[in-house]
């Protein structure tokens, strides 16, 4: 069974630009969660989608958005990039929605550098 696939793995952007990251979950998984990982803040929850609906959202500004398609693939978008958005963005999928009791399978992440 293929794992969680995130693309691109690495990207460099400049301040003010926007970026779109993609995540393909494990086949059959309908829940996709996104996290931002930085050395100082650890793992910060961005949002969770289940069957194309956003089920939960973390404390990030509106510049961070996401969506999920009917095939469970998900994208997240960050507009008007800031230097502080430089981070590893992790996607995780689960066969159930709900967050609390779910076992998550993570992708390898997308490393975003904002210059």
Least separation in angstroms between residue 15's CB and other proteins is: 26
Query: Does residue 32 belong to the site contacting other proteins (CB under 8 A)?
Result: no
Query: Does residue 103 belong to the site contacting other proteins (CB under 8 A)?
Result: yes
78/92 with CB nearer other proteins: 92
Q: Is the peptide bond before 8 cis (omega within 30 degrees of 0)?
A: yes
Distances from the Cα of 46 to the Cα of 2, 30, 49, 112, angstroms: 24, 17, 10, 15
User: Which of 17, 27, 43, 113 is the binder for other proteins (CB under 8 A)?
Assistant: 43
d(CA 3, CA 22) in angstroms, rounded, equals 14
48/85 with CB nearer other proteins: 48
């Amino acid at each position: 069974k293929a794992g969680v696939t995130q693309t691109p793995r690495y990207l460099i952007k400049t301040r003010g630009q926007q970026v779109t990251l993609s995540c393909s979950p494990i086949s059959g998984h309908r829940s996709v969660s996104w996290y931002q990982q930085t050395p100082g803040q650890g793992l910060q929850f961005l949002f969770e989608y289940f069957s194309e609906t956003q089920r939960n959202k973390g404390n990030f500004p509106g510049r961070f958005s996401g969506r999920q398609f009917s095939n469970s693939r998900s994208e997240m978008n960050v507009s008007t990039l800031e230097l502080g958005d430089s981070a590893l963005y992790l996607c995780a999928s689960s066969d159930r929605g709900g967050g609390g009791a779910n076992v998550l399978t993570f992708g390898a992440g997308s490393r975003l550098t904002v210059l």
